[in-house]
Amino acid sequence: MTPGFWPARSVLVTGATGLLGGWLVEALLEREASVVCLVRDVVPDSRYVMEGINGRTVTCVGDVGDQPTVERVLGEYEVRTVFHLAAQTIVGIANRNPVSTFESNVTGTWTLLEACRRSPVVSEIVVASSDKAYGEQTNLPYSEDMPLQGRSPYDVSKSCADLIAQSYAGTWDLPVTITRCGNLYGGGDLNFNRLVPGTIRDALAGRAPVIRSDGNFLRDYIYVDDAACGYIRAAEYLAGQPAARGRAYNLSLEEPLTVFQVVESIQKSLGTDLAPIVLNQATNEIRAQYLSSTRAREELAWSPTVGFTDGLRRTIDWYRAYLRSRPGLSPRAARS
């Protein structure tokens, strides 16, 4: 943490109603930043709304793909630091509805960056990319100098957004840096077709978990609060290091797990042992993806502080309270 950097600093966060968005906004408020959030839809069950985080921010309702709206927000609130998280993040939705995913993830990124380029005040921009931007690679773990070669719709959308951010940095010297995270988990993820929240919900309900793949897909998992701290460190570093413009940083716990291992850990934590239902229906997905965070450790002085077991305990506690308050919540869905 850079002392004195955040108090009273005007910060824009797009995608505040998402999993990472709520945690990042909360972390910025704890650092006394003045936070403005651009949200497309008001999501009553999001942490941003449900836990009253929105009551401590300015909320602007609008689409990140609407450039006049983005320019208005940047100008009227004299925004200095931008965190661009808004995106369509579900692989299955991207496979079914690629155009809406491209509009959100690609058009939304260049629109926001163009608005930032036209702003005389914006001095730091952090763009959320993903490990999916790398596509399938021969060598693991992924490092930041590997090519971006997404092939399926979601992966392509993240590769494109990432390259667009690099283009704005390289062509116009825009102060933008890029973060590439593994799979985020933690309290507040309302996409129950994702592995962690869906399996927790099944276990708490006494149901067998449903696995969409064959159970052997290998991924990184990073606790959401650690990721939020990584984003903040990236912005602080960018402010003092012009060489960080256009540079990317992997954020990972560096302890990849299979789907079966994640399910087993959740069931062990909750004292259940029902055999999972394995559908083996996953398509257009890469079997093994995980990251090296060496660059983030060395340049950002960032490293995760929450291990998977501890993060899972915190996550389970959140969903236990949340689901208890919402009986009969939406039907089950298959997960990774």
Determine the average pLDDT of the residues in 228-241: 98
**Residue 5 pLDDT:** 96
**Residue 128 pLDDT:** 97
Q: Does the pLDDT value for residue 239 go beyond 90?
A: yes
Which residue stretches of the chain are H helix? 19-30, 47-50, 67-76, 91-96, 98-102, 108-117, 153-172, 195-204, 224-240, 259-270, 294-295, 308-324
Q: Which residues contact 256 (CB under 8 A, 6 or more apart)?
A: 141, 218, 219, 220, 288, 290
Q: Does the pLDDT value for residue 58 go beyond 60?
A: yes
**Residue 102 pLDDT:** 92
**Distance separating alpha carbons of residues 223 and 4, to the nearest angstrom:** 26
Which domains are assigned to the chain? 10-184+222-251 (3.40.50.720)
- Assess contact for 38 and 17: CB atoms under 8 A: no
Q: Does the pLDDT value for residue 331 go beyond 90?
A: no
Q: Does the pLDDT value for residue 93 go beyond 90?
A: no
Weakest-pLDDT range from 57-61, 259-263, 270-274, 324-328 = 324-328
Determine the average pLDDT of the residues in 186-192: 94
Pairing verdict, β 277-278 and 210-211? parallel
Catalytic residues, which ones? 154
Determine the average pLDDT of the residues in 285-309: 96
- pLDDT level of residue 180 (50, 70, 90 thresholds): very high
**Residue 283 pLDDT:** 78
- Other Cβ atoms within 10 Å of 120 Cβ, number: 8
**Residue 106 pLDDT:** 95
pLDDT tens digits, one per residue of 70-88: 999 999 999 999 999 999 8
Determine the average pLDDT of the residues in 291-300: 98
- pLDDT level of residue 247 (50, 70, 90 thresholds): very high
- pLDDT level of residue 1 (50, 70, 90 thresholds): low
- Residue 291 DSSP code: B
Weakest-pLDDT range from 220-234, 251-265, 270-284 = 270-284
Weakest-pLDDT range from 17-21, 80-84, 94-98, 229-233 = 94-98
pLDDT tens digits, one per residue of 112-141: 999 999 999 999 999 999 999 999 999 999
Q: Does the pLDDT value for residue 168 go beyond 60?
A: yes
**Distance separating alpha carbons of residues 252 and 13, to the nearest angstrom:** 22
Mean pLDDT over each residue of the chain, to the nearest integer: 94
